[in-house]
Amino acid sequence: MARDLLIALRHRSDVLTTFFFFVIVVSLYPLGVGPERETLREIAPGVIWVAALLAAMLSLARMFGTDYADGTLEQLALTPQPLVVLVIAKVAAHWLTTGLPLVLVAPVLGLQFDLPADSLATLSWSLLIGTPVLSLLGSVGASLTLGVRGGAALTSLLVLPLYVPVLIFGAGAVAATVTGSGAHGHLTVLGAMLMIALVFAPWASAAALRISLE
C-alpha cells in the first residue's frame, strides 16, 4: 500500500485528473440547470453520486494495469503473503488516492446546490461508506479484464451494473435527508454492502488475478 501511495504521489497527474473530473462535472450542473433552489436540491444527490461513480471508474485501469504491464504484479504474487492481502492493500491505496479526496471535497461542492448542513453531513457519510464499495467492486472488474485489449471499457461495462445499488442507496440517503424522511435505512444498507464487498470482493479479485497471471 505504501508503494502504491508513493507511486501516486510521483504521478500526481493521474490522481488530479480523477479529482478535477469530479469537481468539474458536479460544478457544471448548477450552471446548466439554473439558480432555482428547489431544483438544485432535488438533483444534487444524483448528480454528486453519479459524478463520484464515474470518477471511480476512470481510475480502475491503473489499479493493477501498470504493475501487470511491467511485470511487478507477477513478482508481488510470488511473495509469501497471500494474494488476497495484496488485493486489499491495492484497494486501500486506490480508495485513499481516489475515493477519500471525493469525500472531502463533496460537502464544498454540495454548497453549490444549496444543500442544508444535515444533508451535507449525510452526503459525506454516504460517500465515506459507499466509495470503498466502489473500489472493492471495481477491483473485481479490473482483475478480470487484466491484459485484455480494450480492458478499460470492458471493466466499465462489468462493474457498472454492480455499482447501481450503491448509487441508488447513496443518492437516496441524501435525498431522504433533504425531504426530511431520514437517511438511517439507506446508510445501513450501504454499510451492509460494504461488509459484504469487504468479505467477498478481495477473494474474487485474487482468483481473477491468478487466472490473468497464468
What is residue 127's predicted lDDT score, i.e. its pLDDT? 93
Kindly report the pTM of this predicted structure.
0.88
What is residue 167's predicted lDDT score, i.e. its pLDDT? 93
What is residue 15's predicted lDDT score, i.e. its pLDDT? 80
* Length of the chain, in residues: 214
The Cα 28–Cα 34 span in angstroms is 10
pLDDT (tens digit per residue) in 34-55: 778 888 888 888 999 999 999 8
The Cα 50–Cα 31 span in angstroms is 17
Q: What contacts 71, CB < 8 A, 6 or more positions away?
A: none
What is residue 39's predicted lDDT score, i.e. its pLDDT? 85
Residue showing cell 481473477: 208
What is residue 150's predicted lDDT score, i.e. its pLDDT? 65
The Cα 63–Cα 79 span in angstroms is 19
What is residue 196's predicted lDDT score, i.e. its pLDDT? 94
| Segments of the chain with pLDDT less than 50 | none
What is residue 42's predicted lDDT score, i.e. its pLDDT? 87
Burial of 66 (0-12, 13-18, 19+ CB in 10 A): middle
